[in-house]
Amino acid sequence: MRITTQMLNKSFERAGLPIPRTSLLDYINKNTSGSILTTTLNQKNSALYNKKNYEKIKEAADNLAEQTSVFTAKDRNSIFEKIKEGGEKKELYNHIEKMVNSYNSTLDALKGSGDTMNRYYSQMMRLSAAENKEALSSIGIEVSSGGKLSIDKEKLEAADIETVEKVLGESGGFMTKTEFMADKISDNAKANVESVSSQYNARGNSY
């Protein structure tokens, strides 16, 4: 198949890239890996990858913040007060399971990022879990060497509400710190999404 300069320019147009004033012969004489088209496409793909990655982190962090807020709520909004007033313990266990899943998902999302701040947040989350490992274990929440959480259902259901509240409640410290970090992770991810988005217009062209 014979490729013409016009066909090459069409490729730029479909890719949403500005058409350069360069002939086909110029591209042939250049190393393909160093061409304008290759370089620009790589930059665009890298930006889009980073944007999706930050969006994933933000979604995980927002979910974690939502789940931790269940345990840090005060007074009559506290899930522990609702249980003490006759609420179902099953609801509490369901929220704990959701929190653990959100916690692990956030760690996984952070692991896939090379961002310095995200590495810092990941380290702080693992450190916080390690510092509270004994307390968490007392109510059936185990901490792995990598900082992830898992649930021993029998041990969790055997723990009394007062003990669970002491560990996971607003005064316990672990949930408060986790909620704070989740908000910070979300803010950082949002800022990076906006930063990447501001570099490209709707057609993918660099501003």
Chain segment 102-153, per-residue pLDDT in tens: 999 999 999 877 789 999 999 999 999 999 999 999 999 999 998 999 999 9
For tokens 């660099």, name the residue.
Answer: 206
Per residue in 75-108, pLDDT tens?
Answer: 778 888 888 888 788 999 999 999 999 999 999 9
Q: With bands split at pLDDT 50, 70 and 90, how would you rate the model's confidence at 207?
A: very low
Q: Identify each DSSP E strand in 56-147 by its residue range.
A: 141-143
Q: How many helices (H) and strands (E) does the chain have?
A: 10, 2
pTM for this structure?
A: 0.73
Please state, for a pLDDT cut of 90, what percent of the chain lies above it.
52
Task: Give the other-Cβ count within 10 Å of 95's Cβ.
Answer: 16
- pLDDT value at position 40? 47
